[in-house]
Amino acid sequence: MNIAFAPNARRPDPAIEVLDDAFLPLRLFAAGVEQIATGLAWAEGPVWFGDGRYLLVSDIPNNRILRWDETTGAVSDFRRPSNNANGHVRDRQGRLVSCEHLTRRITRTEYDGRITVLADRWQGKRLNSPNDITCAADGSLWFSDPSFGIASDFEGERAEAELPHGVYRIDGATGELSLQLDDLQGPNGLAFSPDGRTLYVIESRARPHRLIWAYDADGPRLSNKRLLIDAGGPGAFDGMAVDVQGNLWCGFGGDGSKAADPAQLDGVRVYSPEGRPLAHIHLPERCANLCFGGAKGNRLFMASTHSVYALYVNTRGAVA
């Protein structure tokens, strides 16, 4: 589905709603929301490759990964079929690491294009459908594993879950897989604070509200679980990205209830490191996931249902 979109000529762009004056230094007065791609069935997992000046984004139901070229604006297939790939990250060596629904595994794309399987089972049982992934400063890979991709034949292949929903860690040196969390309903987006000492995890099936939890992180050890953000009311989180100041930029939308108003909820909600709402970037579609990129790391790319949107901001994405 192609979504018609006309960028707003007014500045500041009224799509960028400031909820707290602390956001004003992060807003570029002359920048507005742009649509850079459309026609996807469900856009997810954006990841930036600055060395090639392109963005990769998953189109999960269409079983493909798309490539948007910054120099030309062209959109092409990067990988098809993609095994219904969802989230992506680059490891410390710059290689693409992907969550695959269909094969229920984590894979790494080597420099020569070969695919290496990093994880597909825990204690002899198949993973559910790896969803989102991030890379820690020590090179370890952390990923969420809800059952969304095996719940139907739309984003993968229907199957029975063999494991509870979990968050896992792949050791950067040994490749050893460890289960870190198994007490969240629908663990989804995850990210580290700029100093790498805090892990944020979205619980996207929590009741009555969707939540973001924070944990103290010390290598493979997590402690001091605490509630950082409650979406409140009908709001719901998906993926997120963190900037160099530690602010959380969260994919946002409705929780499916009758009270959810897409016109008010769809987009990106920005929070301070303390969990205070700073801004809402209104989009015509629900935002699933996002990343920072561009030549200076100050361009926010937002994978949003059928389209990908971009916005220049006055901050940069964090590298833990």
Which CATH homologous superfamily contains domain 16-312?
TolB, C-terminal domain (2.120.10.30)
- pLDDT for 5-26, tens place per residue? 999 999 999 999 999 999 999 9
- pLDDT for 141-155, tens place per residue? 999 999 999 999 999
- pLDDT for 161-202, tens place per residue? 999 999 999 999 999 999 999 999 999 999 999 999 999 999
Q: What mean pLDDT is predicted for residues 105-127?
A: 98
Binding-site residues, in ranges, read 44, 131, 188, 238
**H, E, C per residue of the chain:** CCCCCCCCCCCCCCCEEECCHHHHHHCCCCCCCEEEEEEEEEEEEEEEECCCCEEEEEECCCCEEEEEECCCCCEEEEECCCCCEEEEEECCCCCEEEEECCCCEEEEECCCCCEEEEECEECCEECCCCCCEEECCCCCEEEEECCHHHCCCCCCCCCCCCCCCEEEEECCCCCCEEEEECCCCCEEEEEECCCCCEEEEEECCCCCCCEEEEEEEECCEEEEEEEEEECCCCEEEEEEEEECCCCEEEEEEECCCCCCCHHHHCEEEEECCCCCEEEEEECCCCCCEEEEECCCCCEEEEEEEEEEEEEECCCCECCC
Q: Report the pLDDT value the prediction gives residue 154, as an integer from 0 to 100.
A: 97
For this structure, is 171 an active site residue?
Answer: no
**Domain boundary assignment for the chain:** 16-312
Reported as a pLDDT band with limits 50, 70 and 90, residue 320 is: low
Binding-site residues for a divalent metal cation, in ranges, read 44, 188, 238
Catalytic residue among 59, 145, 238, 266: 238
Reported as a pLDDT band with limits 50, 70 and 90, residue 105 is: very high
Q: What does the mean pLDDT of the chain come to?
A: 97
- pLDDT for 230-262, tens place per residue? 998 899 999 999 999 999 999 999 998 988 898
